[in-house]
Amino acid sequence: MIKEIPAVFGSVFAPEMPIAKFTNGAWQETAWQSSDKLELHPAAHCLHYGSEIFEGMKAFRHDDHSVHIFQLDAGVERMRQSAAALYLPVPDAKQLKNMIIELVRRQAHFVPDRRGAAYIRPALIGTESVVGAAGHPSHDALLYVLLSPVGDYFKQGSQLRIFVETEHIRCAPHMGSIKTGGNYAAALPWTMIAEEKYHAQQVLFCPNGDVQETGASNFILIDGKTLITKPLTSEFLHGITRKSILQAARDNGYTVEERHFTVDEIVQRVSNGAEAVLTGTAAVLSPVTHFIIDGNELVVQSQAEALKLRKFITDIQYGDAKDSHGWLTKVCDCAA
Ligand SMILES: Cc1ncc(COP(=O)(O)O)c(C=O)c1O
């Protein structure tokens, strides 16, 4: 089993990957190849017109060494929705699931112990090589899956500073729920301002005060035993971690309010002791420590409820609590 967890999240990969081609209107059989190269025509549709989508999931190693993927079906389903939304060939659910499971099984030694997890990154790219195809979808595509041993995305116990952006949007409002690269590129200008000017790790997009999500995670306000988060719209990514945490919170007697809320409400509640968290496959559930709003710093006074909620999820992921909703897919017993 891998001993050292790479310092940079998602920078080291298992050496092989499954790959499937879509050509002549059909998915071809899965093949296996080295994960360090991809042969692409320089005119490939994805390189010019953004026909690219991806997913993010994690595999966890339990103390008995067995390896389990968290929310595999939900990730596969969201990938199929993203593909359909960008008119890319929709992956066959069974084929994609098998690609992921087989990769984790073959490369199980890349799944670290409970200090970390293996991040699973399926990607689908349009490969038709016609630069005149700006106005039509790619007929050809490649689907492949990377596996990367990871630790914390946001270092636990250190500051998590959030810059609150009230003028700009993360991406086009009809694109937010699609996990596509262009959305991340679109958010970069504000992310860079936040980082350079305010040393903030994430931007919370709140156009006209409406609290949406950050550049790479969902946002939940926690006030006592109540969780407040935006209801699902096309403007933001429907996080699988968000959904899992809302369910785990309900299971543990919390109240969940999925409703629109504003930056003013964050200020008012956080000033009175409420907490806030970012949620995502990479972020897991990370407590916000500071907001920067209109150039002023708002300190979050406590992270206690956040850490309790984080434990509800990580206990299930690492096999310390019962997986009562069937969120784990066991891949193998995978001795170390
Ligand atoms: C923009 C954005 N929002 C939210 C999330 C959280 O989604 P999930 O919990 O499915 O990882 C992510 C990905 O992690 C993301 O990139």
* Of 146, 106, 130, 156, residue with least CA distance to 277: 156
Name the residue with tokens 């071809």.
28
CATH number at residue 212: 3.20.10.10
Distance of alpha carbon 26 from alpha carbon 18, whole angstroms: 17
Tell me, what DSSP letter sits at residue 241? H
The reply to whether 220 falls in a domain is yes
Reduced to 3 states, what is the DSSP secondary structure of residue 245? helix
Last residue of a domain, one of 97, 125, 150: 150
pLDDT at 1 over 90: no
Claim to verify: residue 142 and residue 170 sit in the same structural domain: no
Confidence at residue 330, expressed as pLDDT on a 0 to 100 scale: 98
Residue 259 alpha carbon to ligand 1 centre in Å: 19
Confidence at residue 155, expressed as pLDDT on a 0 to 100 scale: 87
80, 54 in Cβ contact below 8 A?
no
Claim to verify: residue 222 and residue 102 sit in the same structural domain: no
The half-sphere exposure of 245 on its side-chain side, counting CA atoms within 13 A, is 34
Indicate the pLDDT class of residue 264, thresholds 50, 70 and 90.
very high
DSSP 170-232: SS-TTTTTS--HHHHHHHHHHHHHHHHHH--SEEEE-GGGB--EESSSEEEEEETTEEEEPPP
Q: Find the domain containing 77 and state its range.
A: 16-150
Confidence at residue 247, expressed as pLDDT on a 0 to 100 scale: 98
Indicate the pLDDT class of residue 299, thresholds 50, 70 and 90.
very high
68, 314 in Cβ contact below 8 A?
no
Per-residue pLDDT reduced to its tens digit, 273-293 = 999 999 999 999 999 999 999
Residue 283 alpha carbon to ligand 1 centre in Å: 9
Claim to verify: residue 178 and residue 296 sit in the same structural domain: yes
Reduced to 3 states, what is the DSSP secondary structure of residue 115? coil
Per-residue pLDDT averaged across 169-182, rounded? 97
Claim to verify: residue 20 and residue 137 sit in the same structural domain: yes
Last residue of a domain, one of 150, 169, 195: 150
Claim to verify: residue 296 and residue 184 sit in the same structural domain: yes
Per-residue pLDDT averaged across 306-322, rounded? 97
pLDDT at 336 over 70: no
* Of 106, 46, 52, residue with least CA distance to 79: 52
**Ligand 1 binding pocket mutation candidate from 241, 278, 284 (most atoms within 8 A of CB):** 241
Per-residue pLDDT averaged across 151-173, rounded? 94
The reply to whether 11 falls in a domain is no
Indicate the pLDDT class of residue 37, thresholds 50, 70 and 90.
very high
Please provide the average confidence, as pLDDT, over all residues in the chain. Answer: 97
Name the residue with tokens 């990377």.
146
Per-residue pLDDT averaged across 132-136, rounded? 94
Indicate the pLDDT class of residue 3, thresholds 50, 70 and 90.
confident
In the chain, what percentage of residues exceed pLDDT 70? 100
Reduced to 3 states, what is the DSSP secondary structure of residue 317? helix
Q: Which residue, by CA, sits nearest to atom 4 of ligand 1?
A: 217
Structurally, the chain folds into a number of domains equal to 2
Claim to verify: residue 23 and residue 139 sit in the same structural domain: yes
Per-residue pLDDT averaged across 253-272, rounded? 98
Burial 4-29 (b: 16+ CB within 10 A, else e): ebbeebeebbbeebbbbbbeeeebee
46, 138 in Cβ contact below 8 A?
yes
69, 328 in Cβ contact below 8 A?
yes
Claim to verify: residue 128 and residue 48 sit in the same structural domain: yes
Last residue of a domain, one of 106, 122, 150: 150
Claim to verify: residue 80 and residue 191 sit in the same structural domain: no
Per-residue pLDDT averaged across 38-54, rounded? 98
Claim to verify: residue 63 and residue 140 sit in the same structural domain: yes
Claim to verify: residue 182 and residue 130 sit in the same structural domain: no
pTM: 0.97
Indicate the pLDDT class of residue 157, thresholds 50, 70 and 90.
confident
**Ligand 1 binding pocket mutation candidate from 217, 246, 314 (most atoms within 8 A of CB):** 217
